[in-house]
Structure 1
Amino acid sequence: MNKLFVSLVLSYLLVLAPSYAQTVYPMLVKSNEEFQHALGGDGEDECLNILEVKDKEKGYLISGNTQGIGAGKRDFYLSRIDSVGKLMWTKTYGGKDNEFGGFVEKTNDDNFVLVGYTESFNTDNNQILLIKVDSKGAVLWSKTIGLDRSVYATTLTVVRDGGFVILGETINKEGKIKHSDILVTKTDKDGNVLWSKIIGGERTDYGYSISQTIDHGYIIGGETNSFGKGDWDFYFVKLKESGDIEWTRVFGTDSSDYGRVARQAPDGTFILGGTCVTGKDVDMEIGLVRVDANGGLIWAKTMGGQNAEYLLDLVTLDEKSFAIAGYTSSFGLNQEDAFICILDFYGKMKWMKTYGGPLEDHGVSLCKTTNDGIILAGQTSSFGAKVKDVMLIKTTRKWSKYQCNANVVIPSSEKLISKVMSGGTQSDVRMNLYDVDISISDVKFSERTLCVPY
């Protein structure tokens, strides 16, 4: 039986951001449909997510965590930009120590919810931090969720009843060797815990994406070191609406395969994307696996060049196509460039483009826009303060304008991925939950235009 803890909030923190020199660069906007920018302060700014806002002001929300401009050492941030990329406002949220994560999603009542984990409100263990804000970024409520051990939150999905399903991890203390297991927590619309599940095997298992499925269950994409053929393997976990496991599937090569994002296609099938080591003389490549509604393998492919490619996000665009993003060392102009790639549901590439400067630039989060475009958010070390800033690239899907080079990504043999079916273990846990006060400070990021795509 897990020993639960009860903690008290000892202080309310309200810390204004320190002032620092601002430099505002003129924006390069080719049209109302396209822009490229870097956003950031003097410290590191990590981007986790971008989503479109469909209120009368329109635009986008970018979220993540930032160093040195909030209440503590590292804090959540939320930035709003308009439809042409102009910065509207930025807010930070956090306590006296570190807050990591800061994934944002729209709620069913047209507000927003942020999730990550915090070191500020418990001296013994990390806790999940859940914050609901309005359309201006003002806090409506905030909660921490914790166990008698450290827990971490990666992402969440807003479900049909208005509640939230949070995906993260926790350290399993059972047995001689400590390892991480997947943690799934369901709350109501007010952040009160309804149930929690721990999913995993005898070794380490991670979940990185979760979304609600057509049948009101959930699909988790991640990686497993407990099951499968290689050192690490792609890991699908299909949950019922109750949180009970419906099925799990593991796919991998003899080497290491790191699953990242699972999404459901319009026809009810699922695609899991990640990164694979496909051979002794091959660097990291993009891996894609498509399964049917019951987890049966439809196809599996790897894609890559002579160096390394990493997949960090995957979104469905329409009934015929999906997009992936990440970064590549094989293509583009420099050592690590961001990319957007569009494929059909047979795994055939339709379009790809790389974006980068002289240093490292990574694509992290994709969002389909209402005008049939795509916006990519990520990290740049090439522009802005050149420490680590947020990269924003908005583009339209005009095939005649951006012709795809068929040799940019080289699909390799589909036989490199094999199917292994394994069952996971699961246990219910009770979570301690209490309210905390979160400090908020307004800040203004400097803004700078990135290079024009070649």
Structure 2
Amino acid sequence: MKAQAPLVGFLIILLILPPTFGFYSSEEILQDELKTSQREHFERFVETADVERGLSVVWNKTFSDNVTDYRCSAAVLDERGYVVAGTVAPLTPNSNFTLMCVDPDTGLVWHHVYGAEGIDDCSDLVDIGSSGFLMVGHRAGPETTGYDIEIMRVNNDGAHQWRKTHGSSLDDFAYAGVRHTEGGFILCGSTLRTTPLSDDGLILRVAGDGTHLWNVTYGGNDDDVFRDIATCSEGGYVLAGSTRSYGEGESDLWLVKIDESGDMVWSKTFGGVGIDRGVSIIECSNGDLAITGTNMDDLWIVRTDSSGNMLWDRTFGDPSEGHAICEDEEQQLVVTGRSGDDLFLVMVNASGDASWSDTLGGVEDDHGNCILKGTHRYLIGGSSQSFSQHNNTEFWLLRAVPSPFWTTEPHDVSFELGKSQTCELYFSMPGNHSLRVYQISDNENFSIGREYTDYSGPRLLGYVSISSSWETEAGTYDIRVTLKDSLDAVLTAEFTIEIEDTLPPRFCGYSYGYPWSDGLYQTELTDEFNLIWNESSYGPCYLTLFVWEPSGVKNWTLSGPDSTDFGVESQGPGSIKIGGSEDYPTRGYNVSIPPSGTYELTVTATDTCGHSSSKDITIIVGSYTAQPSIWVPGLVIAVAFWGIVITAVCYRRRSRSKKRELDSIVS
């Protein structure tokens, strides 16, 4: 037996220990299943939902003074904020290069204006890292015979370092530039020739100090121009512009690839019978090329493979123009430009399907000229007259972030009265964002909670839950839900929640009433009740019935063959007191009760929505019969009992005493 004791103890320990050694608890299994279910749910909605994935403008400002017009051309991202280049034009025939650094939180950091007498027009800005910036444009002044290409180097604080011009005896323009892979810079634009009199596309390479290294021109017998240039990851450069010498229409988009020495690798044209042109080009993350410009009077986006073969093209707006293009982390293309007199933004996915577009502006002329892509954020640079503080054209900078979006369209919801119920709104936002604010307009009747699941991928998927209380009254509620993420992008949803009373009142309990109290509440409702009355009794003299009805009982009625013998008195929204009617005099504590007998009644409760519920009950009224008092016989029995006990004890002690005396005599 002793040998079995350790075994028994061990078995007992196994029974009482929690299942933690090498086993999963049921709660852990349920949590894993819940996470898997949520992920499948989110993925299913994201794959099937037809949603708008747009941008939210979280910051915008204008910059200028009261005597000049400013035109933004290009921008780069600096550790202090945004460095924006453009042209400032005083109220004279002259214009100058201008450069400013803007902190999105504190505003203008520094601002410089460069140039001499004449026209200096800035078209692009090249970031040189810690060495500063290269401003690209063209100039016409007293020392030139026409327009010359102008480049100017400044340090990180915008201080002028050197300025160079390059050109022929006719007009030469530079519209864009990039850093050359072997050092220095490569610029693109146009140059005018005399035979025949037309423009050719110009490519110019300069050293790091601005010294001319080589230039090459491409074109035919009509006007041709390069508007933008981009570096190819596989080597060389691609240029976008327009050509009248080649193609099928009056002017076609012109796409050219060159090697490091400027030799042409291939040339492509795209367009119809009208005027088409390319303005901005980028290389996509997968090596494709994306170009924006105009197709007739529409903003135009063209995507090709790395060899310039068209994959798709899309047009937007009427009339509108594409001025700049970039690609985000989700391989969507974002284009800025103008539509009519407003700044225009459009977003398309990698297949060319439009996911979002919007116009921004006022009553005057506003447009976007450049777009700078940061980490899950954008800077759009342009010019605005509508928001000018001095009735002139000003630099207009807008900071935009990818909007969170609903993966399912919010819609009206119906809840049942008297229940705590919940609906969910599913959303998505960029993966490095977090949900910072979630609010509901009616927080007195509803609550909002947040849940989300973050998993690998470019987006964060989750939901907010909207819950009602069982105490929320019936009615229709206008709801506005507002979400704000960590980059201040805002997402809203407006819908209605209708709390419907679909159930009739439910009889759920009773209590017998004493003249001075409501007795004890009983949850097991019966059909037969006993009321007892006597002048000297403590028996119940009225009945209280309870109903469950969140919207409240509007009225109570008694019916049946004996209904006139009783009366009702409401005790609140969910209870009724049933006692004798006014036909009977009150007794004792001013409570009325009919004579002894059996009464058949039907009690009906009707709520505020018109739903009714009835209950048939039987009330038995009886007289109270006093029972004989038992305290005197009880006292007699107790005294007799204790008398017998005491007598027996005394007799036993006396017998023992006599025995001891006899024993002593015998001895």
Q: After alignment, is 244-253 or 60-69 more displaced?
A: 60-69
Alpha-carbon distance between aligned partners in 1 of 2:174 and 2:408, rounded to the nearest angstrom: 39
Alpha-carbon distance, 1:121 to partner: 5.8
Per the alignment, residue 184 of structure 2 pairs with 163
| CA deviations over 1:356-382 (Å, ceiling 9, x no partner) | 112121011101123x11111101110
Higher relative contact order, chain-length normalized (CA < 8 Å, sep 6+) = 1
Match of 1:208 in 2: 227
| Equivalent residue number for residue 328 of structure 1 | 339
Cα distance, 1:215 vs structure 2: 2.2
The answer for the alignment partner of 2:385 in structure 1 is 381
**1:274–1:85 distance in 2 versus 1, CA, 3 Å:** farther
How many Å apart are 1:269 and its aligned residue? 1.2
Unaligned runs of 5+ in 2: 1-56, 410-489, 493-667
Partner in structure 2 of residue 39 of structure 1: 63
Q: Could you tell me how far apart the structure 1 residues matched to 2:402 and 2:256 are? A: 32
Structure 1 partner of 2:200: 181
- Contact 1:357–1:382 (CA under 8 A) maintained in structure 2: yes
Question: Deviations 1:161-209 (Å, cap 9, x if unpaired)?
Answer: 331111111101123xx11111110112111121101111110012111
Letter in 2 for 1:45: Y
Q: CA deviation at 1:403?
A: 11
Which whole-Å deviations, capped at 9, do the CAs of 1:63-122 have from their partners, x for residues lacking one?
11111299x921000011013260111101111111112521111543111011112362
What does residue 83 of structure 2 align with?
61
Shift of 1:398: 1.8
For the residues of structure 2 that align with 1:67 and 1:197, how far apart are their CA atoms?
A: 32
Q: How many Å separate the matches in 1 of 2:491 and 2:345?
A: 12
**For the Cα contact (< 8 Å) 1:62–1:79, is it kept in 2?**
yes
Task: Select the residue among 360, 372, 397 that pairs with 2:365.
Answer: 360
Does the CA contact (< 8 Å) of 1:181 and 1:205 recur in 2? yes
Mapping for residues 15-414 of structure 1, pairs under 5 Å: 34-41=58-65, 42-54=67-79, 58-68=80-90, 73-84=94-105, 86-120=107-141, 122-175=143-196, 178-277=197-296, 284-304=297-317, 307-318=318-329, 320-329=331-340, 336-370=341-375, 372-384=376-388, 385-400=390-405
Q: Deviations over 1:3-42 (max 9, x none)?
A: xxxxxxxxxxxxxxxxxxxxxxxxxxxxxx9311111122
Name which one, 1 or 2, has greater alpha-carbon Rg. Answer: 2
TM-score with structure 2 length normalisation?
0.51
Aligned-CA RMSD value: 2.4
Which runs of 5 or more residues in structure 1 are unaligned?
1-32, 278-283, 330-335, 405-451
1:286-340 CA-partner distances (Å, limit 9, x unpaired): 2222111111221222223xx31111111122352121001113xxxxxx21122
Superposition deviation, residue 259 in structure 1? 1.8
- TM-score w.r.t. the length of structure 1 is 0.74
What is the deviation of 1:155? 1.5
Contact 1:312-1:326 within 8 A present in 2 as well: yes
- Alpha carbons 2:383, 2:396 under 8 Å: kept: yes
CA–CA separation in structure 2 for the residues paired with 1:401 and 1:119: 53
Q: Read off the aligned partner of 1:375 and give its amino acid letter.
A: L
Q: Residue 417 of structure 1 aligns with which residue?
A: none
**1:224 Cα shift?**
0.9
Q: Structure 1 runs of 4+ off > 4 angstroms?
A: 401-404
> Take 1:60 and 1:216, find their aligned partners in 2: how far apart are those partners?
29
Query: Alignment length, in residue pairs?
Result: 354
Q: Distance between the aligned counterparts of 1:49 and 1:396, measured in 2? A: 19
Structure number with the higher helix fraction is 2
